[in-house]
Chains A and B, each alone.
Chain A
Amino acid sequence: MNTLDVYIDFKSPASWLAIGPTRAMSTELDIGLRWLPFDSRQYALAEEKPGETRRETHFRIREYERRRVHLHYASVRGVEMSFPSSPGSTRRALAAMLALGKECDAFLDAAFLAYWRDHADLDDEGVVDDLLKECGVTNLTISMSALDRALDEADQRDVIDAPTYLLGEERFLGREHLPLLRERLLRA
């Protein structure tokens, strides 16, 4: 069975929206998915300020528009999505996902929902432990240094954002590539 590496982050709205369609493709083509951690940069919405530079205006508007479009597709697809006032760290949950390996599916759903519905702090040990318990996982050894190594590896593989799909050496950033990925996988 072919396996596709997919770098995701719980605080990335594009990652959350990609989970369902990615799994659907995986089932349809009978390919495995290896979910890998990426610590994406997310920004709180900035207020317009007097004397802002053109660069500041550009980024402020871009963030607002990106968020609006994510919410649009979340609504179209019936995916719960409420942006927290400021994006928190998700490192602990990413480390848990890494430790779970192939058995992380239930935790993925629980952690994404906790972030995007409840604005849970996914860097909090207690919160992550509770999510693991919800999924029937106890006594998981979570290594933050293993996470750091995985994040270094993502950097070496030139992953710049999430979700990124890696098919061999070829990178595909975003679920908009699923039709091309599907075609490539069918030919592989």
Chain B
Amino acid sequence: MGASLCEFCPTMNPLESDSPLIVYVDIKSPYAFVAIAPTLALETRHGVTFDWRPCTLDIASYAGSARKEEGKVVESSRSSSAWRSIKYSYMDARRYARRQQLDLYGTEKIWDSSMANIGILWVLQQDRQRLASYFNVVYSSFWRRELDIEDVSVVCECIEKAGVSASGFDSFQQGEGRLRHDDLQRRLLASGIYGVPTYVIEGRPFFGREHLPYIDWCLSGRRGQAPDIAYPI
């Protein structure tokens, strides 16, 4: 008999929350990586708790798949235009990462980040205050190519480094955590959430950190003229 969503983990509406802002992120996204610091800063500045959630991108399903070895592409189902877009995206994310004194190296394959993203749910459940530490540990190391985020012992180590007990995480990531994660993922696309970071404010999703000025304006009481999109620098 297959596992089902338990009564202790109710179905999550992708666009609804008690928090004024939902933030969808994925450990394997370079754009989410460079959005973490300005989003955490916004959360601190407003003194509110954002509702952080995982959105594990199924990149191969829309951008094709690829695998590299020693920097060279050894397998690819991508078109040349898809490659150009992806190369631009990495170059773009890298220049903003550099401004935050962060290293960002291109990945050698499309990682399955679901376990590290279930780690977000675990940290939220165990000690919400340590979430920023978890992001700091996982994102920074992953983008320096130091982490195998498909290895449960590696993810447990990150959780511990973030100051949260990882005792029980393995069963969580195979059981309740996996069910909650997968149930949410199934409903994201239909709710208009197709990339990360995505911010949901007043039930409307906005993809990309360029919306942070607008979100800031909304959270500040909508005083004055609404700002245009802009990457925070």
Contacts and interface: CB of A to CB of B under 8 A. Distances in A.
A50 to B, nearest CB: 15
A160 B81 contact: yes
A69 B207 contact: yes
Contacts of B62: 54-55, 58-59
Interface residues of B, number: 31
A51 to B, nearest CB: 15
User: SS class of chain A's interface: helix, strand, loop or mixed?
Assistant: helix
A174 interface: yes
Interface in B81-107: 81, 84-85, 88, 91-92, 95-96
A21 B92 CA distance: 21
A65 B231 contact: no
B226 interface: yes
A64 B192 contact: yes
Interface in B49-76: 58, 61-62
Interface residues of A, number: 29
A166 interface: no
Contacts, number: 67
Interface in A118-171: 158, 160, 171
Contact of A180 (B61, B91, B189, B231): B231
A83 to B, nearest CB: 17
Given A158-B84, A176-B210, A61 B229 contact: no
A156 to B, nearest CB: 12
B50 to A, nearest CB: 20
A158 to B, nearest CB: 7
A58 B231 contact: no
A180 B210 CA distance: 12
Contacts of B190: 61
Interface in A56-110: 57-59, 61-62, 64-65, 68-69, 73, 76-77
Nearest to A161: B85
B205 A177 contact: no
A17 B233 CA distance: 21
A7 to B, nearest CB: 13
Contact of B233 (A59, A69, A183): A183
A136 to B, nearest CB: 31
B206 interface: yes
A170 to B, nearest CB: 8
Contact of A61 (B85, B194, B214): B194
Given A57-B189, A58-B62, A62-B195, 12 more contacts: A21-B228, A53-B61, A55-B61, A55-B62, A61-B194, A62-B194, A65-B192, A76-B228, A77-B228, A160-B84, A176-B210, A180-B95
13 contacts: A17-B228, A54-B61, A57-B189, A58-B61, A61-B194, A64-B192, A76-B228, A158-B84, A171-B88, A171-B91, A176-B229, A180-B95, A180-B231
Question: Which 9 pairs across A and B sit closest by C-beta, in order of nearness?
Answer: A176-B210, A58-B62, A54-B61, A76-B226, A176-B229, A65-B192, A176-B231, A179-B233, A62-B194
